[in-house]
Amino acid sequence: MQDCIFCKIIHREIPAEIIYETDNVLVFKDIRPAAPVHLLLIPKKHIPTFFELGPEDVMLMGELQTAAAEVARRLGLSNGFRLVSNIGRDAGQLVFHIHYHLLAGRELKWPPG
């Protein structure tokens, strides 16, 4: 997608601090962190929301989940992390390219507040 900021990061048109990459997945630091560790995990395939996922995306989404576990291991996040995805405008999705926020580095209370 021409105007998708995450696609521009994938194609290196916009810089990002990339910390993990495979043929299908990219993980980079969020520029507005909400926790000491705040990463964005994205598929390189442009999929706007979970509503557009199809059976052909099962392996890709599994790889995205596995990437979260691998990055957490590499960063030593043994005390845990939160993996969040906002789906749709009402949930706060700002970039319409499927992504997870991986948050860690402090106690993350639920409900927040």
pLDDT, residue 83, reads 95
Structural domain spans, the chain: 5-104
**Pairing state of beta strands 100-104 and 82-84?**
antiparallel
CATH topology of domain 5-104: HIT family, subunit A (3.30.428)
Active-site annotation, residues:
99
Tell me the pTM: 0.92
Closest CA to 100 of 54, 52, 66: 66
Tell me: the pLDDT tens digits for 72-94? 999 999 989 999 999 999 999 99
